[in-house]
A and B are shown apart, each in its own frame.
Chain A
Amino acid sequence: MTAVATPARTDAPARKPGVRRRRLRRSTRDMLLGYALVLPALVIFGTFVFYPFVKNFWLGLYRTPPFPGLPRHWAGLSQYREVLTSSFFTNSLKVTIIFVLLTVPLGIVLGLGLAVLAHQQLRGIGFFRTVFSSTVVTSVAVASLISLTLLNPQIGLFNYWFGRTGSLSPLDDPKWALVAVAGVTVWQNLGLSFIIMSAGLQAVPDTLLEAARVDGAGAWSRFRNVTLPMLSPTLFFATIVGSILAFHSFGQIDILTQGGPQDRTNVLVYAIYRTVFIENNDGKAAVLAIALFVITLVLTLVQLRYLERRVSYER
């Protein structure tokens, strides 16, 4: 082999002086082209992500004046300390975390349940798959309005079914408001959860389940010992992404409860919204937004660390 390769190498034509220059120029050209191709994305990200992000951090360092037009005062990190230790923030954080805990696990379990049902090879199962995934194409506003009607104390079916027509809507009941909003959210996210779980189920090799059948495992054992472990990357992904989405919930809160009653549904994003648009306190809102950013960042890092390093298994 070397005997063949060596002469080929020595036979290569001697480089002419011009070749080198042309190549250098080409690499510069490639570089410029590369930047040119990235530029639109840079401009968009710069305008809508990087600049607002820096500006937001900067806003948090200034105390917003009580009336517009008055000068801002430098507050430095003291505003961060104040806001992050305030009961307003801790209450909102608590509400948000409860909201996440109420929505994410239940959403995953229901999504998985439906996916397992729809995974059966039955005639007409395609219809059910469509129905189960339909909430994906339902907007937050529409879903929330439907629920608002259902939960209406006078004309809503919910109170009618539970024999409490005329009494308080769950949305107005401080004890139940968050649960009600969470319920609506679970329903609304069910389509996505179902689709993710279905995709995960389809990735479980049939031969593994067949091997388990021959090995003597019943349906439940196959699910617990084969399907579920094989789904763990999907479950992990759904948990993290679902949590991030839940931390960012806004639409359904705005339409259903506006954060009430008694701030019982005042989740972080809604708190930020109210702080900006009702209290007109940009500085405080900026700090809240940074807090939300940190939470999202941590979740993302966890996901990157574990999912990218494969929770899944090689076959």
Chain B
Amino acid sequence: MASVTFEQVTKRFGEVVAVRDLTLEVRDREFLVLLGPSGCGKSTALRMIAGLDDPTVGTIRIGDDIVNDVDPRDRDVAMVFQTYALYPHMTVRRNIEFPLKSRKVPAPERTQLVAEATEALGLQELLDRKPAQLSGGQRQRVALARAIVRRPQVFLMDEPLSNLDAKLRVQTRAELIEMQERLETTVVYVTHDQIEAMTMGHRIAVIADGALQQLGPPQEVYERPANLFVAGFIGTPPMNTIEARVVREGDEIAVGLPGARVPLPEALGKVVADRELERVVVGVRPEHLLIAADGIVPATVTVVESLGHERNVACRLDDGTLIITRQEMDEPRPAVGETVRLTTQPETLHVFDARTGLRVDAVDAA
């Protein structure tokens, strides 16, 4: 078990900067998720830990050792690839055994370790099959078994669930969490799926354009997104955002929305005033928006989507901005075309600096 540290790591492929000045510590025995859209550099970051790509600038440590110049096989990491990368000409047994053979583990010990890994993943029946004879889920398990069999210091997983169907994905997600807890090992897990990130990670590192956007526990990233990118990327449907003018009404600081003025909570308003912000982006999550008779912002309902246990209501504000709210099923269903009034608790508003996109937080001032 070991920590993994990026110190000001940059990776360029020719003109393209895949990873930009990344500084990040994955703690010992932590399940850290690198989350971001495709092409954001998260996989490159993972590959640099594995040693499959070398950083252009910066230092990577596993434990206390700088591993920049260490060959992948000497890094004591295991990797699960998106395509599983099973050796198609080898049986399941030989696939799982391969990392041990490569490290010249003596045969009796090898047999023992393979038995343990296959048992842990329920593969005993499949040992003599070839990968082509396995289902997607089974292949995935073999890939995991091959990774855990030699008890590496760090597990690297590159979108390991993306080739599974939805049902199997939910199940395997739970199993991966269990496995990590049982093996007490460090896991770095790359995904573009925010649900995987939210459910599995001890912490999430959100990456965009090769740069770290935010690092924190899932709930914190959800509740206090550091910038507009994170706010829009995490959450389904995404956070509603709208650019607004800051208005002073006596002592109160408010934001001007189409058709209404919304006062900010006092502490937050004070920060906005202190920073002399004139334009901000106001964000509110769909579940924090309510349709209420005494609501303050008028909106016209355009689409109502029932999800079975809840409802998404899409509305347009007076200036045409699309806003999505979430409703419980027992609330009255609005009609399409109906004008409703939206309201929210001021505490649930997120405010971002319109110029930088960075979060403006009352806590910052404290």
- Asked whether, in the complex, the Cβ of A314 is within 8 Å of the Cβ of B88, the reply is yes
| Chain B residues near A217 (CB-CB < 8 A) | 73, 98, 102
- Asked whether, in the complex, the Cβ of A211 is within 8 Å of the Cβ of B89, the reply is no
| Chain A residues near B103 (CB-CB < 8 A) | 216
- Asked whether, in the complex, the Cβ of A215 is within 8 Å of the Cβ of B130, the reply is no
B103 — nearest CB in chain A belongs to which residue? A216
Interface size on B, residues (CB 8 A): 27
| Chain A residues near B208 (CB-CB < 8 A) | none
Name the distance in Å between B126's Cβ and chain A's nearest Cβ: 16
B80 — nearest CB in chain A belongs to which residue? A211
| Chain B residues near A229 (CB-CB < 8 A) | 87, 89-90
| Chain B residues near A315 (CB-CB < 8 A) | 83, 88, 131-132
0/1 string, B142-156, CB within 8 A of A gives 1 = 000010001000001
- Counting from the closest, the 7 A-B pairs by CB-CB distance are A313-B88, A216-B102, A211-B85, A314-B132, A215-B99, A216-B73, A229-B89
Interface residues of B (CB under 8 A from A): 50-52, 71-73, 75, 77-79, 81, 83, 85, 87-90, 98-99, 102-103, 130-132, 146, 150, 156
Name the distance in Å between B310's Cβ and chain A's nearest Cβ: 28
A207 — nearest CB in chain B belongs to which residue? B85
The answer to whether A54 has its CB under 8 Å from any CB of chain B is: no
Instruction: Give the docked Cα–Cα distance between A34 and B73 (Å).
Output: 60
B133 — nearest CB in chain A belongs to which residue? A314
0/1 string, A187-219, CB within 8 A of B gives 1 = 000000000000000000101101111111110
- Asked whether A214 and B87 contact (CB < 8 A) given A313-B130, A313-B132, A314-B132, the answer is no
User: Total number of A-B contacts with CB less than 8 angstroms?
Assistant: 73
| Chain A residues near B131 (CB-CB < 8 A) | 313-315
With A213-B72, A214-B50, A216-B99 known, 8 other A-B pairs at CB within 8 A are A207-B83, A210-B52, A214-B51, A214-B78, A217-B102, A226-B87, A313-B89, A313-B130
Most chain B Cβ neighbours within 10 Å, of A207, A212, A214, A315: A214
Interface size on A, residues (CB 8 A): 21
- Asked whether A230 and B89 contact (CB < 8 A) given A212-B98, A213-B73, A217-B102, the answer is yes
| Chain B residues near A213 (CB-CB < 8 A) | 51-52, 71-73
Query: Which of the residues A215, A221, A230, A314 comes within 8 Å of B146, measured between beta carbons?
Result: A215
Instruction: Give the docked Cα–Cα distance between A211 and B158 (Å).
Output: 12
Instruction: Give the docked Cα–Cα distance between A95 and B70 (Å).
Output: 53
- Asked whether, in the complex, the Cβ of A218 is within 8 Å of the Cβ of B73, the reply is yes
| Chain B residues near A218 (CB-CB < 8 A) | 73, 102
0/1 string, A271-315, CB within 8 A of B gives 1 = 000000000000000000000000000000000000000000111
- Asked whether, in the complex, the Cβ of A215 is within 8 Å of the Cβ of B89, the reply is no
- Asked whether, in the complex, the Cβ of B102 is within 8 Å of the Cβ of A221, the reply is yes
Name the distance in Å between B225's Cβ and chain A's nearest Cβ: 33
- Asked whether, in the complex, the Cβ of B89 is within 8 Å of the Cβ of A214, the reply is no
- Asked whether A214 and B79 contact (CB < 8 A) given A207-B85, A313-B88, the answer is yes
- Asked whether, in the complex, the Cβ of A210 is within 8 Å of the Cβ of B85, the reply is yes
Name the distance in Å between A224's Cβ and chain B's nearest Cβ: 11
**Interfacial residues of chain A within 18-62, with CB under 8 A of chain B in the complex:** none
The answer to whether A86 has its CB under 8 Å from any CB of chain B is: no
Name the distance in Å between B70's Cβ and chain A's nearest Cβ: 12
The answer to whether A225 has its CB under 8 Å from any CB of chain B is: yes
| Chain A residues near B81 (CB-CB < 8 A) | 207, 210-211
- Asked whether, in the complex, the Cβ of A214 is within 8 Å of the Cβ of B88, the reply is no
Instruction: Give the docked Cα–Cα distance between A213 and B99 (Å).
Output: 9
Name the distance in Å between A303's Cβ and chain B's nearest Cβ: 20
| Chain B residues near A221 (CB-CB < 8 A) | 102
Name the distance in Å between B156's Cβ and chain A's nearest Cβ: 8
Instruction: Give the docked Cα–Cα distance between A208 and B83 (Å).
Output: 9
- Asked whether, in the complex, the Cβ of A205 is within 8 Å of the Cβ of B83, the reply is yes
Instruction: Give the docked Cα–Cα distance between A226 and B103 (Å).
Output: 16
Instruction: Give the docked Cα–Cα distance between A232 and B85 (Å).
Output: 18
Can you list 8 A-B contacts with CB-CB less than 8 angstroms, sorted by A residue number? A214-B51, A214-B73, A214-B78, A214-B79, A215-B98, A218-B102, A229-B89, A313-B131
| Chain B residues near A207 (CB-CB < 8 A) | 81, 83, 85
Instruction: Give the docked Cα–Cα distance between A211 and B52 (Å).
Output: 9
